[in-house]
Amino acid sequence: MSAHSYRFTHAICRLPGASIVQGLRAVDTGAPDLALMRAHHADYVAALRSTGAAVTVLDPLEDFPDAVFVEDTALCLPQGAVVMRPGAPSRLGEAAEMAPHLAAFYDEVARIEGPGTIEGGDILMCETEILVGRSARTDAAGIADLAGIVARWGWTLREVATPPGVLHFKTDCSLLDEETILSTRRLSATGCFDGYRVIDVADGEEAAANTIRFNDLVLMPAGFPRTRDRLEAAGYAVHEIGNSECAKLDGGMSCLSLRFSPPVKA
Ligand code: CIR
């Protein structure tokens, strides 16, 4: 197996800007502290780089308060990239901002043309299939558009459901390796991961479900010791990153990067 679902040569991140205090949030628990968020972001980028990956860090986009959450703007596959069409109106323009950066790595950059919407946070790229959770941000038309694009590259897309009241499908799950998913119990109980080995996050630690497997590391938000212990007991090399400020905007580990291994350009 190539492990293309978690072994990557590259990542793209974007620094948070001062406008982050206006970022979208389901429940207002206060504005994020920009200095602390920048410190957490620097730790995150350093952790990605520590695996040997080349990480591009883009400048802040002050016109788009949520632009630090680059994952929602694109899906990067071994064969090509797809520019998303975010369902949050304030985030629509972020996707176009990302397109030229993808074109630097990929000959083929497709895009979701609309009117459907789809955000990267609802897409779990597994080794042999792509799971997409329908959500308040990702609708049937957006999923159909993506299915058509990735079918050209030989991928099967399976539509699943993001739990009600949960922002994105991946808010509640992460891929750990070819056969293993970390999930909240409310999501794994739906049966959408049947056929996979599932590690449930500890009860009361649902916010730990959004991690990323990136090369040999599993990056997870700090502060969830029982889930961390479960991951370590299962043999994963866990690296904790502060996430207190992103969490105020419903963001986590996966949101902060696009992870990919681009084909060698012709
Ligand atoms: C939003 O509501 O769009 C942002 N505040 C958070 C986006 C998190 N992105 C992700 O989970 N992929």
CATH at residue 115: 3.75.10.10
The reply to whether 170 falls in a domain is yes
The reply to whether 2 falls in a domain is no
What is the rounded CA–CA span in Å between residue 99 and residue 68?
15
Structural domain boundaries, residue 136? 10-260
Instruction: Give 69-116 pLDDT, tens digit per residue.
Output: 999 999 999 999 999 999 999 999 999 999 999 999 999 999 999 999
Mutation test of ligand 1: which of 167, 212, 245 has the most ligand atoms closer than 8 Å to its C-beta? 167
Q: Quick one: which of 71, 70, 82, 87 has its CA closest to 151?
A: 82
Q: Quick one: which of 190, 154, 149, 156 has its CA closest to 173?
A: 190
Q: From ligand 1's centre to the CA of 17, what distance in Å?
A: 15
Is ligand 1 within 6 A of the CB of residue 250? Answer: yes
Number of domains within the chain: 1
The whole-number pLDDT of residue 266 equals: 54
Instruction: Please state the pTM of the whole predicted model.
Output: 0.97
The whole-number pLDDT of residue 265 equals: 63
What is the rounded CA–CA span in Å between residue 117 and residue 113?
9
The reply to whether 265 falls in a domain is no
The reply to whether 17 falls in a domain is yes
| Ligand 1: nearest atom to the Cα of 91 | 3
Q: Which residues of the chain have pLDDT under 70?
A: 1, 265-266
Is ligand 1 within 6 A of the CB of residue 87? Answer: no
Q: Which residues contact 225 (CB under 8 A, 6 or more apart)?
A: none
The reply to whether 266 falls in a domain is no
The reply to whether 135 falls in a domain is yes
The reply to whether 79 falls in a domain is yes
Is ligand 1 within 6 A of the CB of residue 240? Answer: no
The reply to whether 112 falls in a domain is yes
What is the residue with the minimal CA distance to atom 1 of ligand 1?
24
Residues in the chain: 266
